Amino acid sequence: MALTLCASAIAAATPAATGQPVQVRFDGARMDIHLDVLLAAPESGVIAAIHDYERLGLIFPLVIDSGIEQDFGDGVQRVRAHMEGCVLFFCRRLEHVLDVRRAPGRGAWSSAQSVPAQSDVRAGHFSWRTEAVSQRQTRLVFSGWVEPDVWIPPLIGPPMVRRSVERQFRESMPRLERVAWAHRGR
């Protein structure tokens, strides 16, 4: 996911002008995610980091293994991510396979469609784009939804899962900045 991202170690991701940096809604069946952040990293590095599927774990700590399963050509690749995370005492391992369409050029919308037959999700779709604000700042807009195919204990419930996902995204943005600086110019 595409999920997926050193010089700005003191700069954390800040909300872009459109409001809260991470918004997550989860009703127990479907999770909607919207992210709008201003990253302290160059756009070329952000794009390279997001599409470095072999190293998504550098950005997202929940990802324990990731990579390209198949390259279909024309900017479409099948990407897998094995994730593991816990909410309180409930730990779960999840596999998510997505067909990622990488839009050519800067500022274009890229997208990813879940492959339910190979994933622990019923369905999902994500889209994102980057916009260079300056040579050292990039706006990242990410929006999508996923229907996980996992049982969640009633004691934990949707609110705790939602807060956990929000926290993971917030914590991943400074990591994305560091990885983007390492990727700049690639």
Complete DSSP assignment for 81-123: EEEEEEETTEEEEEEEEEEEEPPSSTTPPEEEEE-GGGSSEEE
Task: Give residue 105's pLDDT.
Answer: 72
Between CA 101 and CA 146 the distance in angstroms is 17
The whole-model pTM stands at 0.85
Task: Give residue 75's pLDDT.
Answer: 93
Task: Give residue 8's pLDDT.
Answer: 24
Domain limits, the chain: 14-183
Task: Give residue 155's pLDDT.
Answer: 80
CATH superfamily placement of domain 14-183: START domain (3.30.530.20)
Closest CA to 112 of 124, 129, 94, 130: 124
Contacts 24+ apart (CB under 8 A), 101-108: 101/75, 101/76, 102/51, 102/75, 102/76, 102/77, 103/75, 103/129, 104/75, 106/43, 106/44, 106/47, 106/130, 106/131, 106/132, 107/131, 107/132
Task: Give residue 86's pLDDT.
Answer: 86
Task: Give residue 59's pLDDT.
Answer: 96
pLDDT in tens, the chain (186 residues): 433 322 222 223 344 433 458 999 999 999 999 999 999 999 999 999 999 999 999 999 899 999 999 999 999 999 999 999 888 888 899 999 999 999 887 778 999 999 999 999 999 999 999 999 999 999 999 999 999 998 888 888 899 999 999 999 999 999 999 999 998 755
Residue with tokens 């900017």: 75
Q: Is the CB of residue 98 less than 8 Å from the CB of residue 78?
A: yes
